[in-house]
Copies of this chain bind each other. A is one copy, B any other.
Amino acid sequence: MPSDDANPNPLLSERIRIALADEIMAGALAPGQALDEQQIGDRFGASRTPVREALRQLAAAGLVEIRPRRGAIVGGFTAERIVEMFEMTAEIEALCVRLAAWRMTPVERSRLARLHDESEAMVANNDIDGYDRLNWEFHRTIYEGTHNSFLAEQAIALRDRMAAFRRTQLREEGRPVRSRGEHEKVLEAIMRGDGEEAARCMRAHMFNASIALERFTAKREPAPNN
């Protein structure tokens, strides 16, 4: 069947999964709304089979809820839940950095410092995407610094789920500068091997990011209807 688009990923279920995830994140699908397999399949020109696979994946990621024999509904992505996700993310990040401050090798510490240095130019040029990329690398290096690959995987998965909010948050005026300043404090604590202090700084960092997101979205979208 000749496709009408040039998607490099040949897996239909994957494409559906991504598309549905985007729509849910963007709020195009209201929480609690029923997701009919046939209907979604028609919308993507696919049969129910790949749709089902996509829905299972999304259920595992927490974006939809599946009740056996009763179909799937959009998961509750309310403002309250987003706050909860931010809190958990902050605590996981704090946990990672606490362990990392104790366990990172000199090579890893050096890499972290280098990443932080490189980010200075991005902030100066107001290159949001570039800083976002380095930001990601910074946190990822910390995850790996825990020397607990299971924990690192979980942290990465969690961060992926929050990716949409994270980038938004950086668009607030002056946020990248302050974000980098917070990174600096985290970095210093890591260099001193002070895990508890690093954790405190990281918690503050995530909290500030959360606040920035709230302010930014409140400005752009004054009344989120229910």
Contact = CB atoms under 8 A, between A and B. Distances in A.
A69 B13 CA distance: 12
Q: Is the interface of A mostly helix, strand, loop or mixed?
A: helix
Contact of A95 (B53, B91, B151): B91
Contacts of A68: 9, 11, 14
Interface residues of A, number: 27
* Stoichiometry, copies per complex: 2
A56 interface: yes
Contact of A153 (B49, B62, B95, B149): B62
A138 to B, nearest CB: 21
A150 interface: yes
Nearest to A84: B150
A61 B62 contact: no
A14 B84 CA distance: 29
A164 interface: no
Contacts of A85: 150
Contacts of A56: 53, 56-57, 60
Interface string A77-102: 00001001101100100010000000
B87 A151 contact: yes
B9 A81 contact: no
Interface in A115-174: 148-151, 153-154
Given A56-B56, A56-B60, A84-B149, 14 more contacts: A9-B68, A14-B68, A57-B60, A60-B60, A60-B61, A62-B153, A81-B150, A84-B148, A84-B150, A84-B151, A85-B150, A88-B154, A91-B151, A95-B95
Interface of A: 9, 11, 14, 49, 52-53, 56-57, 59-62, 68-69, 81, 84-85, 87-88, 91, 95, 148-151, 153-154
23 contacts: A9-B68, A11-B69, A14-B68, A49-B49, A53-B53, A56-B57, A56-B60, A57-B60, A59-B60, A60-B60, A60-B61, A81-B149, A84-B148, A84-B149, A84-B150, A85-B150, A87-B150, A87-B151, A88-B148, A88-B151, A91-B95, A91-B151, A95-B95
